[in-house]
Structure 1
Amino acid sequence: MAKFLNTSATNYFLEELIKQASERLILISPFLRLNDRVKELLEDKNRLKIDIRIVYGKNDLHPDEVSWLRELDYIRTSFCKNLHAKCYLNEESAIITSLNLYEFSQINNNEMGIYLSRSDDPDLYRDTFEEAQRIIRVSDEVRMSLEKIKSEDTNASTTKPSSDENTKITSSKLAKILGLSTQDFLKKCIEKGYLQENGDKTHITEAGKNIGGEYKYSKRFGSYFIWPTDLKV
């Protein structure tokens, strides 16, 4: 029988749903923003070669998500226009909820959800799975590429970039030069005061601008930052 989930229960059952996936995992959420715990769980599923589909509807990708996703062979991502549904499934259970993936484990919001299992609610599970498959079919599969971000930003600009801008590189590329993961590099920038987190967004500060950092936006791939190549953190 379907179960009602409050905020804490939604977080708990979503984590269990991801951990218990043994054949497939479908994550449908408007925003492709993943916290460390979700990334850890998905990395484990990728190591086990579980088929993972992530469908998102908002172009809010950051270079750290792009770089991270490129390294996972068994995760496929799709963009679905006008997506507002939040639904998470494995081969045995599903959750339909108000909880976005980026809000996972954040208990400040008041969320609701419904948990259902294939064994107890076969018809309801089937209808949910079929609708998830329909959303996947109408979505456009996206192969994450940092080069696409650079190309998209260049194509979107109608003015010639300055020579100073040409000497700057994205967070992920600079992180690689420094021997860091993109996520660790961004954390260090926050610690240094170059970046500031505000809810689910990360903003560049005046200190970040003063050392040469810049905020950039691509219509397709969302927000990212570029930095001088000689920046140390």
Structure 2
Amino acid sequence: MAKFLNTSATNFFLEELIKNAKERLILISPYLRLNDRIKELLEDKNRLKIDIRIVYGKSDLHPDEIKWMQQLDYIRVSFCKNLHAKCYLNEDSCIISSLNLYEFSQVNNNEMGILIKKDDDIDVYKDAYEEAQRIIRISDEVRISLDEVKTEKVEESPNSNTPSENIGKLTSSKLAAKHKIKTNELLDKFVELGFLTLNENGKHYLTDQGKNIGGEFRSSQYGGYFLWSENMDI
């Protein structure tokens, strides 16, 4: 029989679902920003050569997530347009929930979901598994690659008096590394200072105050990222 899950139970059973995967793991979530614990579990499954499929639905996949996924051989990532479903499966269990696979949601939001065991509800599990497979089939597999933002000084064109717009700029991850803190800690600090704000899905947006201190938002085919002055005092 299906089991009701509140926020803490959803997070607990999600970790258990990942830990207990022996053959396959499917993670479907519109928003994708993994916390350190989930990353550790997935890295362990990757070492065991478990087939892992991740489907996300928002094009702003964070550069840090891309760089992390580049290191894992058994994770395949797909993009599904108009995805709103949140579903997590291994060969024995399935969680259908309001919870995005997004660290902000896992900590801050009130979520609900249900846990389905294959042995207890085989028809429901089968229907959920088949729908997950359909979503995978209609998704576009993403080739995980990323040209890192180059923040070094670029030579000016001999016919131009305009300096490179990226001179003295660092991405959030590089600025965090410079100050020997985690990227998430840096972003949280910038929210606290009013340089960034968060929407209900945990996505960061640059504020006017952030722009005034030199922050910039840039878009690329792999998503958006922020640039900051390399001389910022954290």
Indicate the TM-score class for this superposition, using the shorter chain for normalisation: 0.7 to 0.9
Q: Which residue of 2 aligns with 1:73?
A: 73
Shift, 1:105, TM fit: 3.3
2:175·2:230 contact (CA, 8 Å) conserved in 1? no
Amino acid at match of 2:223: G
1:182-193 alignment, distance < 5 Å: 184-185=182-183, 187-188=185-186, 191=189
- Tell me the secondary structure at the aligned position of residue 37 of structure 1: helix
Identify the residue that residue 222 of structure 2 maps to in structure 1. 221
8 Å contact from structure 2 (residues 172, 187) kept in 1: no
Partner residue in 2 for 1:120: 120
For 1:163-174, list aligned pairs within 5 A.
163-167=163-167, 171=171, 174=174
1:84 maps to: 84
Larger helix share, 1 or 2 = 1
CA distance in 2 between counterparts of 1:29 and 1:122 reads 23
Q: What is the SS of the residue equivalent to 2:144? A: coil
Structure-2 change in CA distance of 1:227 and 1:109 (3 Å): closer
Q: Deviations over 1:36-93 (max 9, x none)?
A: 2222222222222211111011112121111111112211110001111110000111
TM-score by length of 2: 0.77
Match of 1:156 in 2: none
> Which residue pairs with 2:141 in the alignment?
141
**Percent identity of the aligned residues?**
60
Distance 2:167 2:222 in 1: 21
Q: Which runs of 5+ in 2 are unaligned?
A: 151-159
Residue in 1 aligned with 2:157? none
C-alpha distance in 1, partners of 2:173/2:45? Answer: 26
Q: 1:197 deviation in Å?
A: 5.6
Task: Confirm or deny: 8 A CA contact 1:51 1:75 kept in the other structure.
Answer: yes
Per-residue deviation, 1:19: 1.2
What TM-score comes out, normalization by structure 1 length? 0.77
Counterpart residue type for residue 93 of structure 2: S
Shift of residue 132 of structure 1? 0.6
